[in-house]
């Protein structure tokens, strides 16, 4: 008989993520060390159910149990607590409260080839109004992506030698994690984080914590409609995968017209698009959330060549995002 282990694993996969989501939402990782009884009292939850949840988290290597006491693993403390600079709570809560509901409608997205915001939440306005319906939800999402960026930006910043550039402008730069990483790595580079004004309120808080804070500015704007800030290197981190080819062409041509180089941070599919799995899953995520998708390096090279860029290099970083450097 064929070994069904892969199918069985996939059947249960959502249970594992939902266990982590529930533990985060309930505040488990903020309430350790504790016995099951102490945890249930702190959270106001059922004792037997709480004990099952804590035991499941030990199986998922998020908690360790010593005697009757449960404590966070090092990874859980780093990624699943609010006080950590690597916290991914925002993105986890967003995944729990928004993405899982969108993914319930994946079959309809496959039928129609469009995102599921209107079907799931009755939202039919501009795309990113759905992402940021309130100031609080915007901050939660942006800070979740900041935790993700703290993991990915070091790999992007060191993928190429950027020492010859004087000023990087990160378009849609969110909290500025990529700009901060590059400016800290290269003392001769000035940085600009370019994003919506409400997002820059969060960016300024993170920039203030950086040793390169005096070399990083924030400029509000929309990269589709507003003039771009002056720079000899632009960056697009997890931006191109949001948009249709038509909108990508507009943005890439706009950047090319400045004569500057372009650094792209995205998760690359392999040339045959048979992997890696995180990029394939993210491509489906883009289907249900946006107008875009993930691409292979040859596909990005084609887009960049069409926009006028000539020297184009791609690097797999081993981090959550890969890097492409395009020069005029």
Q: Choose among 239, 162, 178: nearest CA to 212.
A: 178
CB of 141 within 8 A of CB of 92? no
Name beta bridge partners: 190: 167
Is residue 288 within 8 A of residue 109, CB to CB? The reply is yes
How deeply is 249 buried, as exposed, middle or buried, from its count of CB atoms within 10 A (0-12, 13-18, 19+)? middle
- The answer for residues whose C-beta is within 8 angstroms of residue 92's C-beta and 6 or more apart is 20, 21, 24, 80, 144
Is residue 220 within 8 Å of 196, Cβ to Cβ? yes
Give the pLDDT score at 127: 64
Segments of the chain with pLDDT less than 70: 124-132
pLDDT given at position 86: 87
Quick: pLDDT tens for 161-193.
999 999 999 999 999 999 999 999 999 999 999
Which residue, among 234, 148, 226, 149, has the nearest Cα to 189 in the 3D structure? 234
Give the number of other CB atoms < 10 A from CB of residue 161: 9
| Per annotation, catalytic residue among 146, 167, 177, 241 | 241
Q: Please give the Cα distance from 194 to 171 (Å, whole number).
A: 5
Enumerate domains of the chain plus CATH numbers: 5-79 (1.10.10.10), 150-327 (3.40.50.150)
**Which residues, including other chains, have CB under 8 Å from residue 159's CB and lie 6 or more apart?**
315, 317, 322, 323, 325
- Write down the pLDDT at residue 124: 65
Beta bridge partners of 326: 262, 312
Element (H, E) at 311: strand 311-315
Q: What whole-number distance in Å separates Cα of residue 33 and Cα of residue 274?
A: 42
Instruction: Determine phi and psi for 102, rounding to 5 degrees.
Output: -65, -40
Cis peptide bond prior to 80, omega within 30° of 0: no
Q: State residue 267's pLDDT score.
A: 97
Question: Residue 192 half-sphere exposure, CB side, CA atoms within 13 Å?
Answer: 18
Query: Whole-angstrom Cα distance, residue 290 to residue 115?
Result: 6
Note the residue count of the chain.
Answer: 328
**Confidence (pTM):** 0.92
146 is catalytic: no
């Amino acid at each position: 008989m064929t070994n069904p282990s892969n199918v069985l694993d996939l059947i249960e996969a959502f249970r594992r993520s939902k266990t982590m989501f529930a533990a985060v939402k309930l505040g488990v990782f903020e309430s350790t060390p504790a016995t099951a009884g102490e945890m249930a009292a702190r959270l106001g939850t059922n004792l037997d159910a709480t004990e099952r949840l804590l035991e499941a988290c030990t199986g998922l290597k998020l908690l360790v149990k010593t005697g009757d006491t449960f404590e966070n693993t090092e990874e859980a403390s780093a990624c699943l607590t609010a006080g950590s600079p690597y916290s991914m709570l925002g993105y986890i809560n967003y995944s729990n409260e928004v993405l899982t509901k969108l993914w319930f409608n994946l079959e309809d997205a496959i039928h129609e080839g469009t995102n599921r915001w209107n079907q799931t939440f009755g939202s039919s306005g501009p795309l990113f109004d759905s992402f940021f319906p309130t100031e609080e939800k915007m901050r939660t999402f942006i800070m979740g992506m900041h935790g993700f960026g703290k993991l990915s930006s070091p790999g992007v910043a060191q993928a190429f030698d950027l020492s010859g550039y004087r000023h990087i402008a990160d378009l849609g730069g969110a909290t500025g994690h990529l700009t901060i990483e590059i400016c800290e790595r290269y003392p001769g580079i000035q940085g600009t984080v370019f994003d919506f004004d409400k997002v820059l309120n969060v960016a300024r808080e993170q920039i203030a914590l950086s040793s390169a804070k005096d070399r990083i500015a924030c400029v509000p704007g929309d990269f589709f409609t507003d003039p771009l800030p002056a720079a000899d290197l632009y960056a697009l981190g997890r931006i191109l995968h949001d948009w249709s080819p038509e909108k990508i062409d507009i943005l890439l041509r706009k950047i090319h017209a400045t004569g500057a180089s372009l650094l792209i941070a995205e998760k690359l599919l392999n040339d045959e698009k048979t992997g890696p799995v995180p990029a394939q899953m993210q491509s489906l995520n883009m289907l249900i959330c946006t107008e875009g998708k993930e691409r292979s390096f040859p596909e990005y090279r084609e887009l960049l060549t069409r926009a006028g860029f000539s020297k184009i290099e791609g690097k797999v970083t081993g981090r959550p995002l890969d890097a492409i450097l395009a020069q005029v």
